[in-house]
Chain A
Amino acid sequence: MNRVNFKGEGDRVFLVIYGNPAIEEIISSIREKVSSFPGFFAGMEVFLSPDSEIDGDKVEAIRDEMSRLGLTLRYGDRGEARRDGFTSPKGSALIVKRTLRSGQRVEYDGDIVVLGDVNPGAEVVASGNVIVLGTLRGVAHAGSRGKGDSFVLAFKLMPTQIRIGRVVSRAPEGECKVPDGPGIAFLRDGEVIVEDYHPGHPAIV
């Protein structure tokens, strides 16, 4: 009975494991499937399905095996995909091709790029980074699942509120220095800092 399956959903591939089989059974199932379609699986990023009921300690072993087979396993917040230092894994950015108006909200597990403005009353919530190629006047939440090294970047940073990881921040009362050009907001020592953005800014990891 096949308790280990690869399932495609949308543009992602999930590893689904039913019940809680022995680690050896899991490993051999994975090996068997991957070797039947070597070209298909090469370099693939696979997400461990949230429906899987296996013990957490088996996950490491599975991840190692998949690494050996040339795949990357993503699991919760700890399963970071292998990064080469300057690109994010394919398919992990959502591109919004218009201005977000008041009352509109976009939430995504990954980075979000808005090709437009984010008006007051609009919300952008990303588990990754938020990049606004326009004026950010609404609320942006980067690192919505707790990732504190995320950033918010905008051509014009004039947000109602910025949230990074678990930190919520707003502009100080009264006049405050808003970057004239593109600005970037990030966490330093648990506080949201806003600085002029320039290519190579250290907050971009």
Chain B
Amino acid sequence: MPGRVMVITSGKGGVGKTTAVANIGAGLALRGKRVVLVDADIGLRNLDVVLGLENRIVYDLVDVVEGTCRLKQALVKDKRIQELYLLPASQSRMKDAVRPEQMRALCEELRKDFDYVIVDSPAGIERGFQNAIAGADEAIVITTPDVSAVRDADRVIGLLEASSLSSHKLVINRVRMDMVRKGEMLDQEDVVEILAIELLGVVPEDEKVVISTNKGELVVTESGSAAGKEFMRIARRIDGEEVPIEEEREGFMDWLKGIFGRRG
């Protein structure tokens, strides 16, 4: 049974795509799935750093596409999690080194051997983005709850809707509940109202993410991380489990239930 190919994209840079790809992918692998993470950010690769695998890279995606090596030779096995693999991007080349058709062929090849192929999209809507979505069936759009990011996410969703991808879901990332309560952070009802796609998860701002990234570790494996917990719940939802979007925080639960109830 061929695997699922999904792309995680956003339009805006810095909203947490790479972190999400790494942690959601790891979450799925921890549940026993075979997962490969594909870094499509040619020239500005980051997924390897977030995973702490940067010193294990020999070949990359461009090498595979140009036939310099076989696909299996380029895959880097994760140092901690069984069944989690990385196909790194090239750091020295540029986005035009790969064409969408090549990405499509690559993803088709990968899905034969993996349950999940998760593509990390670069920011923007040009060639890098086009490459990243070329082989995917599903998209996860990440946004932070601010006007700029939502504007970009809306643009991206418009492009996804015009493409051949069959499903688009939303993750709102880096939410600061204290600011939301004070009315200083964008009302999430507004985010969902404008973007009008299914909500997959709401990830709180968590300083453990910064710390972990620098150490090449993943919050999804850390017991005390609120963001890590939500990434794991997102992985479970992707895998078909019914996990309600709720949190045991006073006030937050009722208000989120309100959103969920409205969208449900």
Contact = CB atoms under 8 A, between A and B. Distances in A.
Which size class do B's interface residues fall under? 10 to 19
A3 interface: no
B155 interface: yes
A103 B194 contact: no
A99 interface: yes
Contact of A103 (B147, B158, B196): B158
B99 to A, nearest CB: 23
Contacts of A101: 154-155, 157-158, 161
A185 to B, nearest CB: 21
Contacts of B157: 101
A65 B158 CA distance: 49
A150 interface: no
Contacts of B154: 101-103, 119-121
A104 interface: yes
A132 to B, nearest CB: 14
A119 B190 CA distance: 11
Interface string B146-161: 0100111011011101
B6 to A, nearest CB: 21
Among the interface residues A102, A103, A120, A135, which one has the most CB atoms of the partner chain B within 10 A? A102
Interface of A: 99, 101-104, 117, 119-121, 135, 137
Ranked nearest first, the 9 interchain pairs of A and B with the lowest CB-CB distance are A101-B158, A102-B154, A102-B155, A103-B155, A101-B154, A119-B154, A121-B151, A102-B151, A120-B151
Given A102-B154, A120-B194, A121-B154, 14 more contacts: A99-B196, A101-B154, A101-B155, A101-B157, A101-B161, A102-B151, A102-B152, A102-B158, A103-B158, A103-B159, A117-B194, A120-B154, A121-B155, A137-B194
17 contacts: A101-B155, A101-B157, A102-B151, A102-B152, A102-B154, A102-B158, A103-B154, A103-B155, A103-B159, A104-B158, A117-B194, A120-B147, A120-B151, A120-B154, A120-B194, A121-B151, A135-B193
